[in-house]
Amino acid sequence: YLNKSYQILESRLEQEQQCSDSDDALKSGTANQKYISTTDPDASVTRRGKGKSKLQYQIHRGVDKNCEVITATEVTPGEVNEAHRMQSLVDKHQENTGKTVETVVADSKYGTIENYLSCHEREIKPHFNSLEQTQKGTGKKKDIFPKEVFIYDRENDVYICPAGEMLKRRSYYKKRMHYEYIASAGTCDSCQLRRKCTKAKSGRTLKRHIRQDDLDIMLDKANSIAAKKDIKTRQHLMERSYARSTRYGYQRARWRRLWRVQIQEYLTSAIQNIMVLIDNVKEQMPALAMAQAKPGYQGPRLSLEQLYLCFKKAITCNMNQFYVTFQ
C-alpha cells in the first residue's frame, strides 16, 4: 500500500543511496507488486512448500567438497529464482580461491537449459539433474510418452513417433530459442496410441533447442554414475552447512534490509569457516611435540594468521569441485 515516495524518503533518512537500487526493482508475484513491507522493503513475500506466505530472504551458498569451506555466498529476496544465481556463485568461488571450477554439484532446481549451456561454454561438468526430467510423468505429462521415445532423424530433420509417423519442424520461438515439431493435421486423430501420446486437440508437439547437441552432451554428464554419487554426497554436505548456521542461532535475519542481512551471512560463514579451520589443523610433528614437552620450553606458537595460511594452502589445491545450494 506504499508507493515509491516512501522508498525515496527512507533512503534519504538512512543516507544509504546504494540500498535504494534494490527497492526500485520490479518484484515478481501479485503480492510483491501490490504491497511493500514498512519494516523491510527489500524482503519479498514467498511461501515454501505448504507453509504460510511470509517475508523472507534467500541465502545461496557454494561449498567445496573436501573440507566443507563456504567459498561463495549471496543473499537475495526470497522470490529470486535460485537457478539464476549459479553462475554468479561459480564466479565468486573462482575469485576467492583462485581455482578454476571443474564440477558443479547442485539439486534439480538448478537444472535449467541456461545453466547447462553455460557449463558447456566454461567446460564445467554439470552434476545436477535436469528440472525437466524431475517433472517427467507429473501433471499434464502423466501417463504420456516422454520425449525420449521419439527418434530424431538428423538427415531429414524430423522426429519419428512410436507409431512410425513423422513430426516436422514448423515454428521457431526466438525467446526460448527452440523449434517446434508437429505431425500433419489429422495424423494424431486416427492414431491408436493417441491416449498415451498427447491430450492436446491439435496433436503431439515436440520442442528442440537450437543447441540441442550441446545440451545432450551436458545431460549425459549429468546422468553419469559420478554425477549421481556427487548428488548423493551433496544432500548431507549442504544440509550440514545450514544446520551449523541454525545451531549458531542465525536461522532468522537479525537485522533489516538486504545489505545488513548480507553482512550477517558473511559473519555466519566466517564463523563456520573458522570452525572448519580449527578442525583441520594437523597435529604437530613428533619431534616438535617432544621438544615442547621439556620443562621450560617456550618456543614460538602458531598465530591464527599462520594457521589460516597453512589451512588455505592445504585445501585450495583441491577446490575444483563445487557444491551449490540455497535456503
- Residue 251 confidence class, pLDDT cut points 50, 70, 90: confident
Share of the chain above pLDDT 90, in %: 24
What is the count of structural domains for the chain? 2
Determine the Cα–Cα distance for residues 252 and 263; give it in Å rounded to an integer: 13
pLDDT for position 153:
93
Per the domain annotation, does 296 fall within a domain? no
Judge whether 11 lies within some domain.
no
Residues 123 and 227 in one domain: yes
Mean pLDDT calculated for residue range 20-42:
64
* 105 is a domain residue: yes
Residues 65 and 186 in one domain: no
pLDDT tens column, 32-61: 767 777 888 888 888 777 777 788 888 888
The DSSP result for 15-67, as a single string, is: T-GGGHHHHHSPPSSHHHHH---SS-TT-EEE--TTS--EEEEEEEEEEETTT
Q: Identify the residue whose cell numbers are 527418434.
A: 151
CA distance 255 to 24: 21
pLDDT at 83: 87
Q: Does 199 lie in the same domain as 70?
A: no
Q: Is residue 170 in some structural domain?
A: yes
Same domain (yes/no): 147, 264: no
Q: Phi and psi of 50, rounded to 5°?
A: -95, 5
42 within some domain: no
pLDDT of residue 104: 92
**One domain, residues 98 and 227:** yes
Task: Read off the pLDDT of residues 57-83 as tens digits, 9 standing for 90 and up.
Answer: 888 888 888 788 899 999 998 888 888
**What pTM does this model have?**
0.75
pLDDT reported for residue 31: 67
Same-domain status, 141 and 189: yes
Asked whether residue 33 is domain-assigned, the answer is: no
The predicted-structure confidence for 169-215, as pLDDT tens digits, reads as follows 999 998 889 999 998 888 888 888 888 888 888 888 999 999 999 99
Residues 63, 212, single domain; the answer is no
Structural element, H or E, at residue 178? strand 178-183
Task: Examine the domain organization and report whether 64 and 190 are in the same domain.
Answer: no
Q: Check residue 83 and report its DSSP letter.
A: G
Kindly state whether residues 244 and 189 are assigned to the same domain.
no
One domain, residues 141 and 263: no
Q: Is the pLDDT of residue 13 over 50?
A: no
The last residue of one of the domains, among 197, 218, 239, is 218
Position 6 confidence tier, pLDDT thresholds 50, 70, 90: low
Residue 253 maps to a domain = yes
For the chain, give the number of residues: 327
**pLDDT tens digits for range 89-107:** 999 999 988 888 899 998 8
| Secondary structure of residue 170 in the 3-state scheme | strand
Q: Looking at the structure, tell me whether residues 118 and 172 fall in a common domain.
A: no
Per-residue pLDDT at 16 exceeds 50: no
User: What is the structure's pLDDT at 259?
Assistant: 87
What residues make up the domain containing 151? 136-218
Residues 118 and 73 in one domain: yes
Domain of 229: which CATH number? 3.30.420
Q: CB burial class (10 A; 0-12, 13-18, 19+) of residue 36? A: buried
Q: What is the mean pLDDT of the chain?
A: 79
